[in-house]
Amino acid sequence: MTPLLEVRGLRHTYPDGTQALQGINLAVPRGARLALLGENGSGKSTLLHILGGLLKASGGDYLYDGEKVSHGKRELDRLFRRVGLVFQDPDVQLFAPTVFQEVSFGPKNFGGKGVSLASAVEEAMTAAGIEHLRDKPPHFLSYGQKKRVALAAVLALDTETVLFDEPLAWVDLRGRDMVLSAMEELHRRGRTLVISSHNPEFAFGWADRVAVMKDGRVILDGETREVFGNREILAEAGIDEPFRCRLARELDLPRVPEDQETLVLMLKTKLGRRTT
């Protein structure tokens, strides 16, 4: 099956000469939950900006749904209707005078009107927990609140692919739950999700595929468990082994536990304790 997003030999050099991407090959199947992991400066945001159509790569190809993405106005407009990007830094994304206008802007721009526009905006604001901020100017909000507004603005677009650059950075615990449930709902609706993260524990639990980046290259990608089984590459990329993987390895558990409950059961069994 044709991957929904695919890059081949993708390169990007910024005007100051920084070679941010140095030949990336990556394919993302429709409906995937892909996490990009890598140290600061490894190229995650650059890649996401190219996938979102906001940055034109200096070389290589980007294919969306089997078609080469070009940067003509009409082609980009088509891409923007299918791919949404939540920026790492909301200060770059937000511009409207009020939160409500910010969240309405995208769907309105794509021709949304009347009841369907209003319900898309309300639904997105509720999912991000920002209904009470609707009349506030985004630049007066706290950083975590801005992250939520940036998320709502993209949720309201209801694109088939959603790219999240560091969705969990700066949000509090409740915000984290909201972001996670918004992502869960998108996955349930069959959307394709690509995120960047610095949190291997989270990536292990959430992603079905992981791509490990280092110095502008993808040095390993594949199914999550397979990738996290390669400790050498993780170490090379400066990524910690998730604690449950380490526990399963060191204690010789039959597999890496799926969640905390399973972990407790497995440990009890290992210790010869009753499991009820």
Does residue 224 bind ligand ATP (CB under 6 A)? no
- Rounded Cα–Cα distance for residues 134 and 136 (Å): 6
> CB of 200: closest distance to ligand ATP in angstroms?
13
C-alpha atoms less than 13 angstroms from C-alpha of 263 in its C-beta half-sphere: 12
33 φ/ψ angles, rounded to the nearest 5 degrees? -120, 95
Q: Figure out which of the listed residues 1, 16, 74, 252 binds ligand ATP, where binding follows CB under 6 A.
A: 16
- Vertex 228: Cα angle to 222 and 233 (nearest 5): 85
Does residue 56 bind ligand ATP (CB under 6 A)? no
Q: In angstroms, how far is CA 273 from the centroid of its own chain?
A: 40
DSSP state for residue 207 in the 8-state scheme: -
What is the total count of residues that contact Mg ion (CB under 5 A)?
Answer: 3
Stretch that binds ligand ATP, among 42-50, 70-78, 79-87, 228-236 (CB under 6 A): 42-50
Contact 82, 161 (CB under 8 A): yes
Does residue 195 bind ligand ATP (CB under 6 A)? no
Does residue 93 bind ligand ATP (CB under 6 A)? no
Does residue 43 bind ligand ATP (CB under 6 A)? yes
Locus of tokens 């690509």: 194
Does residue 145 bind ligand ATP (CB under 6 A)? no
> CB of 14: closest distance to ligand ATP in angstroms?
3
Q: Figure out which of the listed residues 45, 104, 192, 197 binds Mg ion, where binding follows CB under 5 A.
A: 45
57 φ/ψ angles, rounded to the nearest 5 degrees? -65, 150
55 φ/ψ angles, rounded to the nearest 5 degrees? -135, 135
Contact 57, 86 (CB under 8 A): no
Does residue 275 bind ligand ATP (CB under 6 A)? no
> CB of 46: closest distance to Mg ion in angstroms?
8
Q: Which is nearer to ligand ATP, 16 or 261 (CB)?
A: 16
Q: Footprint of ligand ATP on this chain (CB under 6 A)?
A: 14, 16, 18, 20, 38, 40-46, 88
